[in-house]
Amino acid sequence: MSAIPENPYLLLTPGPLSTSPTVRQAMMKDWCTWDAEYNELVNSIRSRLVELAVEAHPAAREKYTSVLMQGSGSASVESVIGSVVPRDGKLLVLANGTYGKRIARAANILAIDNEVLDFGEQGAIDLEALQQKLLGDHGFTHLAVVHCETTTGRLNPIEEIAPVVKQAGLCLMVDAMSSFGGVPIDMVGLGIDYLISSANKCIQGVPGFGLIVAKRAEIESTKGYSRSMSLDLYDQWHAMETGGGKWRFTSPTHTVRAFDQALIELAEEGGIAARCERYRKNHQVLVSGMRELGFETMLEDEVMSPFITTFYNPGAKSYKFEEFYARLKRRGFVIYPGKVSDADCFRIGNIGHVFPEDMERLIDAIRLERYWL
């Protein structure tokens, strides 16, 4: 049997991302979705996800649970808002980018009563505006916020947002798609009710399913709330909880196996704190090197996440992002186009099986490919 070929380039994107050879190798085995060994693996993954989410408060372990959901990360976000907000509930969405707006769009399609506090694609979440919104008889029962808004790479301050939300008595749902596993999140201390992420982000697996860590009492109270069959969060959780790890429908078996290996490698690296340190070093090397080459970051240092960084495109008429992208790809690096609608920009991810020396090689490649100078 031939060996798995090495990737021809690094994916410097917010996911899918570059994975380790051993994570890719883990997919080279077929699994039956009803096999006891496979279901035990699923439950082991669920247990380890809870441990990661509550690692600062291990005594709270039994108060939390997790569920895996087929599909993209956005499918898991939709499964949460569509399954936990009751028919007479009302959702407040904090938005400062595409992914916050996507939550509101899903809520509208699902006919969930909702309101959006939109701070603009490059704006910070205004805590005073949030406090004012939650004064008096506001009618909101749930609030959703994106932790790392990958539109720009901004890391929203959930440590400051959560106390305001919990003081108002709302259920707090955090889209931690691009942050869970890559930076410590005190789920227990912040009172987060639902934390949502995906297999192909900071835990460094491959696409195929999303994951939700939740307060057990919260998810137990949502039976019958779902507006969807396939995305019924309670049903999915209940099937896994009572069926020994069984999925309701065909599961992404190869992705699950790869994710198990990715969790093993996260632990071997030293856990979330160690991975966060590597990502921060990647980010520091990237930003420092790009600035030396004359590129400008969109955000200020203090609000940038260590996961993905947005840079303005050079102003030279001879510069074209598509040309820049193609040249870097030939040198072994794939970057990401911009997502901010009113700014000419591009993005570079720092996550995945990527190390500071890789970022140094990227800077060298960009130095050689500044054809517009």
Query: What single string gives the DSSP state of each residue in 228-268?
Result: -STT-HHHHHHHHHHTTS--SS---HHHHHHHHHHHHHHHH
Per the structure, the complete domain to which residue 97 belongs is given by 23-269
With a cut of 80, say whether residue 367 has pLDDT above it.
Answer: yes
- Which of 3-7, 33-37, 131-135, 343-347 comes out lowest in average pLDDT? 3-7
Report yes or no on 5 lying in a domain: no
Q: Residue 267: what pLDDT? A: 98
Q: Residue 2: what pLDDT? A: 47
Q: Which residues are annotated as a binding site?
A: 347
Query: How many structural domains does the chain have?
Result: 2
**Domain boundary, last residue among 254, 269, 284:** 269
Indicate if 253 and 292 belong to the same structural domain. Answer: no
Residue 193: strand, helix, or coil: coil
* Confidence tier at 29 by pLDDT (50, 70, 90): confident
Q: Residue 3: what pLDDT? A: 55
Q: With CA atoms as reference, report the closest residue to 194 among 177, 179, 173, 178.
A: 173
Q: Residue 245: what pLDDT? A: 95
Structure tokens at 271: 């856990």
Structural contact between residues 220 and 214, judged by C-beta atoms closer than 8 angstroms? no
pLDDT digit string, tens, across residues 154-196: 999 999 999 999 999 999 999 999 999 999 999 999 999 999 9
Q: Residue 329: what pLDDT? A: 96
pLDDT digit string, tens, across residues 97-143: 999 999 999 999 999 999 999 999 999 999 999 999 999 889 999 99
Indicate if 259 and 356 belong to the same structural domain. Answer: no
* Confidence tier at 5 by pLDDT (50, 70, 90): low
Residue 326: strand, helix, or coil: helix
Q: What is the pTM of this model?
A: 0.96
With a cut of 60, say whether residue 239 has pLDDT above it.
Answer: yes
**Separation CA 151–CA 140 (nearest Å):** 26
Report yes or no on 7 lying in a domain: no
Indicate if 225 and 338 belong to the same structural domain. Answer: no
Indicate if 184 and 327 belong to the same structural domain. Answer: no
pLDDT digit string, tens, across residues 300-346: 999 999 999 999 999 999 999 999 999 999 999 999 999 998 899 99
pLDDT digit string, tens, across residues 290-299: 999 999 999 9
The domain that holds 162 is classified in CATH as 3.40.640.10
Q: Residue 134: what pLDDT? A: 97
Residue 200: strand, helix, or coil: coil
Indicate if 335 and 255 belong to the same structural domain. Answer: no
- Which of 1-10, 14-23, 72-81 comes out lowest in average pLDDT? 1-10
Q: Which residues are annotated as a binding site for substrate?
A: 347
pLDDT digit string, tens, across residues 188-237: 999 999 999 999 999 999 999 999 999 999 999 999 999 999 999 999 99
Report yes or no on 43 lying in a domain: yes
Cross-strand bridge partners of residue 226:
none
Q: Residue 7: what pLDDT? A: 84
Q: Which helix (H) or strand (E) holds 172?
A: strand 171-175
Q: Residue 6: what pLDDT? A: 79
Indicate if 313 and 250 belong to the same structural domain. Answer: no
Q: Residue 139: what pLDDT? A: 95
**Separation CA 252–CA 218 (nearest Å):** 26
Q: Residue 4: what pLDDT? A: 60
Question: Mean pLDDT across the chain, nearest whole number?
Answer: 96
Structure tokens at 238: 């209940």
With a cut of 50, say whether residue 1 has pLDDT above it.
Answer: no
